[in-house]
Amino acid sequence: MNNLVIGQFVPGDGFLYKIDPRTKIMVTIGYVFVLVFAQNWGTYAWSAAFLGLALLLTKQGLGLYWRGLKPILWLIMFTVILQLAFSGGTPVLFQLGFIKVTQPGLINGIYVVVRFVLIVLMSTILTITTPPTSIASAIESLLKPLKAVKVPVAELALMLSIALRFVPLLMGETDKIMKAQKSRGMSMSTGSLMKRAKAVVPLLVPLFVGALQRAFDLANAMEVRGFETAEGRTRYRELAYTRNDTLVLVSSLALLVVFIILLFVS
C-alpha cells in the first residue's frame, strides 16, 4: 500500500505546483493522446524528453516515481508477453511450440513498455502536484460547456471530489486491516495461489463494510447541514490562469509541432 503513488498528492514547491490544475489536466490528456500515435523511436524519444522536463519541474526525487511504477510492473510484463507471443511478421527470432517471437513483435513489446511507463509517470505527475479538490474544481470548470445540454456538471465534480478524498482513507483502512490480519497469524504472501486468494476475503469484507459506513455517515452529515445541490456553491480557492500557464500551454503546443514533424519524417 505504501508503494501506491498515483492518485496521491505530495506537497512540494516545484514549478508545476504553481500551475493551474486545468492547464495540467489539458496537457496530460494531450500527452496521452499524442502517445497513442507514437510509431517510431524519434516520437518516443521526444515524448520521453518532454516527460523528463516535467519530472525536473516537480522537484521530487526519482525514487518516488519508481516506487509508483513497481505495483504495475506485473501488468506491463504481462502485456509485453502477450505482445511477443501473438504478434506476427518476420523474421522469426525464435519459436517455442506454437509461440513465435518475431522482430516486429519484439519492437512492439518495447513500444508497449515505453508507452505504459510514460503514461503512468505523466498521470503521477498530475496527481502528486495537484490536490484532489483542485482536480475536481478543474474538471468542473472544463466541463462547464456541458451545462448547455443539461449535464449536472457541479454534481459530477462533487462526486469526483468525494471519491478522490476517499482514496487515501480507504488505503489507510486497508493497511490497518492487513496489519490486524497479520497480527492474527494470517499471511497473504505465502502458500499456494488458491490459499492467498482465500486470504483476501477477510480483507475485502471489513473494507467493503467500512466504506459503506463512511458513505452513510457522509450522506447523513450532508443532509443535516441542509445540502441540496452543488450548483451555485462558492469555493474558498478560485482557479485563475497566470503567465506561467500560458508559458506551459505554448511550450506544449511547440513540442506537439515537433512531435508531428518527427512522426511523418521518421
For residue 26 the three cell numbers come to 489539458
Distance, CA of 254 to CA of 252 (rounded, Å):
5
First and final CA of the chain: distance in angstroms? 42
Could you count the other beta carbons within 10 Å of the beta carbon of residue 183?
8
Whether 182 has a pLDDT exceeding 70, the answer reads yes
Give the bridge partners for 89, in sequence order.
Answer: none
Whether 92 has a pLDDT exceeding 80, the answer reads no
Q: Where are the domains of the chain?
A: 1-131+238-266, 167-230
Most confident of 17-31, 78-92, 149-163, 176-190: 17-31
pLDDT tens digits for range 4-59 = 666 678 888 889 999 999 999 999 998 988 888 887 888 888 889 999 999 998 98
Mean pLDDT of 66-87: 76
pLDDT tens digits for range 114-142 = 888 898 889 889 888 988 778 888 888 88
Whether 2 has a pLDDT exceeding 60, the answer reads no
Distance, CA of 113 to CA of 128 (rounded, Å):
22
For residue 118 the three cell numbers come to 510514460
